[in-house]
């Protein structure tokens, strides 16, 4: 009788351990961007206001130039979305020029584990004026604006119409997440 109880307890404990292990293996997060059904980690609740440096091109078109603005959002993702929308609006101060067409729409924005996925409408590609350096400044205006203003963001993945793209306009590889290139403030690539 005693052996039967011990055997039953061992079987129950083993079954619970297998269940927990299975949940860990199969119940984890799927790779890829978070979705509204699978919210991002580190999402702060409640309204947020922040001073941010937006990265625009300087009037020579040779380097990035900063413009400071105050941006608000109802949540972390909302704040990040409004930062990108301010970048699309273009500069308010003289001495800077826009890097993205004003008709670009932010279709979605997600943040998880140090990466931000920014899904932009096709106007970012279709209305790009062309040129390799112009493309560098456009891509890194988005990347630097997000990475340099938010310490928990290390990289940015730019999507176009919900999909990864090889390039924005034929020159800069945007097929994977990109890290900041702060040296573009001085007009340097390396």
| pLDDT tier for residue 189 given thresholds of 50, 70 and 90 | low
Q: Is a pLDDT exceeding 80 seen at residue 30?
A: no
178 pLDDT higher than 90: yes
CA gap 158, 70 in Å, rounded? 23
pLDDT band at 65 (very low <50, low <70, confident <90, very high): very high
User: Which residue reads 């945007």 in tokens?
Assistant: 174
3-state helix, strand, coil split of the chain in percent (to 5) is 35, 25, 40
């Amino acid at each position: 009788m005693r052996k039967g109880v011990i055997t039953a307890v061992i079987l129950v404990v083993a079954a619970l351990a297998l269940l927990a292990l299975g949940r860990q293996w199969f119940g984890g997060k799927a790779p890829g961007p978070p979705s509204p059904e699978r919210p991002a980690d580190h999402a702060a609740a409640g309204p947020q206001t922040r001073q941010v440096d937006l990265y625009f091109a300087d009037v020579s078109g040779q380097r990035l130039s900063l413009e400071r603005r105050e941006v608000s959002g109802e949540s972390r993702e909302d704040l990040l979305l409004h930062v990108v929308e301010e970048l699309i609006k273009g500069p308010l101060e003289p001495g800077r020029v826009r890097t993205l067409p004003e008709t670009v729409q932010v279709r979605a924005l997600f943040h998880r584990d140090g990466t931000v996925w920014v899904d932009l409408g096709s106007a970012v590609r279709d209305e790009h004026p062309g040129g390799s350096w112009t493309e560098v400044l456009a891509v890194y205006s988005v990347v630097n604006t997000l990475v340099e203003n938010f310490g928990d963001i290390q990289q940015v993945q730019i999507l176009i119409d919900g999909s990864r793209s090889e390039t924005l306009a034929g020159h800069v590889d945007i097929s994977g997440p990109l890290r900041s290139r702060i040296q573009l403030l001085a007009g340097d690539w390396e």
